[in-house]
């Protein structure tokens, strides 16, 4: 792979539903590069290790990456339990897309990345927006399949954290037929979002699509070998989606 040195980082603030959201844009030394936008997990932020590592690799391969904190997370505005909804996170992602597409220093080609809850968010948005490629890690197909760690009853988990389950509820099953260019990663020992989610998502998505099953893989992708595989395959998938020639 060609290596494009230089990682210009720009702190960006933008709005979604009147809330001020914080993000970091990574750009290579390439004129008007394509950009990948990341959507983090439920309790995470744009500083998640997966996104930081993926941003670095994207820049090294001539692609930009935008990682941001959803409403109520990290440095973004909003009280977490009060403002967090599935539809709200989808609107955050779309607001990020519109903001980036209005900039003069990037191209018109956008791809998406989502981890866990963020994986469902990017799939929902990709079903209705023109994106070049999508990569997900441990994405759930609906809220009811998520099993919060150390709590047997998912309903109790939401109540203890102060969430209204109905405001978080989602099911992207009927949207997946509009999703294509999808690369999915999932550990087959994931106890938070069971591997059956990956099978269901892969079955319903359109071609081209690839499902990578990480043997003995857990929800956070803690195995370094799985992390390396994720980065290499993701970069190749994005390059192909953007039509960037490989060496």
| 156-168 confidence digits (pLDDT tens) | 555 545 566 778 8
Torsion of CA 1, 242, 193, 161, to 10 degrees: 110
Would you state the structure tokens that stand for residue 4, as one six-digit string? 């494009």
Query: Per-residue pLDDT averaged across 12-27, rounded?
Result: 99
Cα(66)–Cα(68) distance, integer angstroms: 7
Q: Please give the pLDDT value at position 160.
A: 47
Beta carbons of 8 and 60 less than 8 angstroms apart = no
Mean pLDDT of the chain: 93
Q: Please give the pLDDT value at position 153.
A: 54
Burial tier of 5 (Cβ tally within 10 Å: 0-12, 13-18, 19+): exposed
Radius of gyration of the chain (CA): 17
Residues counted in the chain: 247
Strand partners, 212: 185
Mean pLDDT lowest among 72-81, 136-145, 152-161, 179-188:
152-161
Model pTM? 0.93
Nearest to 107 by CA among 37, 55, 35: 35
Q: What does the pLDDT look like over 131-148, one tens digit per residue?
A: 999 999 999 999 999 987
pLDDT at 98 over 70: yes
Assign 106 a pLDDT band (cuts: 50, 70, 90): very high
What is the topology classification, in CATH, of domain 8-242? Rossmann fold (3.40.50)
| Angle, CA of 217, 69 and 125, to the nearest 5° | 75
The single residue listed with the structure tokens 């857990």 is 218
Q: Kindly list the domain boundaries of the chain, sorted by start residue.
A: 8-242
């Amino acid at each position: 792979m060609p290596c494009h040195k230089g990682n210009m980082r720009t702190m960006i603030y933008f709005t979604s539903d009147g809330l001020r959201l914080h993000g970091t844009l990574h750009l290579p030394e390439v004129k008007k590069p394509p950009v990948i936008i990341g959507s983090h997990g439920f309790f995470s932020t744009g500083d998640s290790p997966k996104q930081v590592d993926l941003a670095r690799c994207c820049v090294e391969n001539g692609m930009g990456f935008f990682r941001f904190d959803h409403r109520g997370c990290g440095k973004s505005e909003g009280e977490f339990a009060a403002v967090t909804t599935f539809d709200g996170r989808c609107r955050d992602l779309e607001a990020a897309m519109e903001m980036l597409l209005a900039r003069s220093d990037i191209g018109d080609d956008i791809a998406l990345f989502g981890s866990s809850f963020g994986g469902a968010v990017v799939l929902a948005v990709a079903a209705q927006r023109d994106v070049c490629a999508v990569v997900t890690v441990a994405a759930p197909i609906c809220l009811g399949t998520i099993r919060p760690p150390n709590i047997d009853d998912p309903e109790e988990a939401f109540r203890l954290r102060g969430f209204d389950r109905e405001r978080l509820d989602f099911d992207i099953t009927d949207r997946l037929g509009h999703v294509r260019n999808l690369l999915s990663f999932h550990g087959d020992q994931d106890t938070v979002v069971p591997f059956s989610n990956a099978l269901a998502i892969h079955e319903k998505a359109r071609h081209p699509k690839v499902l990578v099953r990480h043997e003995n893989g857990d929800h956070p992708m803690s195995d370094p070998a799985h992390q390396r595989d994720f980065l290499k395959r993701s970069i190749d998938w994005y390059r192909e989606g953007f039509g960037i020639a490989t060496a």
